[in-house]
Structure 1
Amino acid sequence: MHRKLVEFRLRPDDVSAIRFGISPGHELVHAVRSLARPAENPLQWGWLRQARDVVPRPAFELLRTVVGEDGYVPDFLTSEPSWDLDPAEEAARRRRARLPGMQVDLRKRVDRSAGRERTALLRLLDDPHRARAVIAEAADAVWDAVLAPSWSQLERVLRADIVARTRVVTTAGIGAMATALHPAVDWSADSVRVELTRHEETVDCTGRGLVLVPSVFARRCSVITEPPAQPTLFYPALGVAEDWHREGVAHAAALGRLLGEGRLSVLLALREPLSTSAVATATGLAIATASHHLSALRDARLITSRRSGQRMLHARTPLGEALLAG
């Protein structure tokens, strides 16, 4: 088979051109594909055993038709990945997706479909306003049933992956990080190359950069290259095992016994850098108590603190992320 490469061209050795993000919508699409083809997703079997009993079937079947079982992902289902993209915010964007763009995406799916699936997609195109509403409603229903209960665990895996990759950048360089993303990914001084099965292209990322997005559900790499979307590379996240989905009650209880409930609540609150007063507000602790817990966590190297203007901002370290991720 001919080797197909997508090459993301960057300015030579421009570390700032690469950043990381998280995409709840991308996880939703690939969760639907995992439910559609469970035998091909052994790392999801634990989650699948739970999800198959609660998935809303009509909503799932509609979404399965829209996303297909492999290949192209309709862009209107997802937002540009970012570090703090909220699933509810992304769902709201789906409900107000631009109709022309949605129609283009659905026509691309029509071109890749046949039989009943093609007929169903053409029926959606007959009434774009209704299609947008029912697709958004179906996405919300599937998310609420099968992903919302596991989102905190899933998000921890994604964030732990990003922290681990970022640490590699600081210790071994961006090239070492990029080549360790996946066997299909290669790096040179001015480009990131991805080997794919169906697509090849050279993308000039100068001035736009490249977003790297870990995924719990994706089995292999995929890309977004078509303007005006941000050039994006999705890759399988580190640390995905069959039990990634399990409710962290036992793990949280053990951490509570280890750290104390107050310090654990502070560590959990630091999903993003927060000031001491913000930590106190998020945890319901007095500022003096929050400051005491932050000091203990910093001494244990589970968080780091830095001054920003008049405030001291606190963030988890890679060790803190790994501890929460279990």
Structure 2
Amino acid sequence: MSDAILAPTAAPPRAPGIWRQSWYRFRRNRAGMIGLCIVTLVVLLAILAPFIAPYVPDDTSAMLRGAARRPPSALHWLGTDRNGYDVFTRTLYGARTALMVGLGAMLIASVIGVLIGGIAGFSGGLVDELLMRFAEFFMVIPVFVVILAVVRLFGIVVVGTWMEDIPNLNMMTIIVLLGCFEWPPIARMARAEFLRLRGAEFVEAAHCIGSSRRDILLRHILPNAMPPLIVLVALGIGGAILAETMVSFLGFGDPKAVSWGQSLFFNYEALKVAPWAVLSPGAALFVTVLGFNLLADGLTDAFNPRLRQ
């Protein structure tokens, strides 16, 4: 018998998976890469804020020496606001709050949305119908008005109780409320993906080899349903940051938190006198939300290349 027959045949090269293919497409998307760079920069600035910021966020020494509302200088790179706070420092620390709100709210929304949408799509029938009507009920609620009312009411109720000593209680309330009202779009997308995938060949094959329902859901359907959900989450992070800023700008935010909305609320009346105190947090908000939107746009093209045709 010849050596050619005895020699083991080489295994065929494996085709790149969906995640690797998506990364290749994402790298060629200029808008997506710009968004990724912006988001990465914001995250790094938020993490390194204690080491980069020249002052602590609550330092009012500038007011004591009569340097409130001073324009940018060597001591204060972006000037000072009406309270004597260093604008550069408050802008850096505001990135921490913005990311905490965006990521926290969308984490809650993702868990609720994937759970409800996944059950609806995989079960079908009456369960699907009831869960989708439940999601539609949440979609017609005026979320912004509810958040303002609950935050104000909750702020009155906790006065004089042990909950008053919880740090950043109002901010945590806003995060939970945003998460509890932002899940319906994720649920609808999860339902559509689960409906599409439950009849796929690899799912039928998993049924045939005796895989449990839990294994099919967690190991086969959910990972393949994640790409479009990630796009929604990226968009939702920017939306949650913008929503918290609007709540804080109206005076319903957490007074103990350092946020861009608080900076806008305290300084918008002095726009003509000290515009730098408003323009800096406003520009930071614009760039951050733009970064997440561009990132979502790039992810959309990466996961759904046919949409570009």
Who wins on radius of gyration, i.e. which is larger?
Answer: 2
Higher RCO by CA contacts (8 Å cutoff, separation 6 or greater): 2
Please classify the TM superposition score into its range, dividing by the shorter chain length: under 0.3
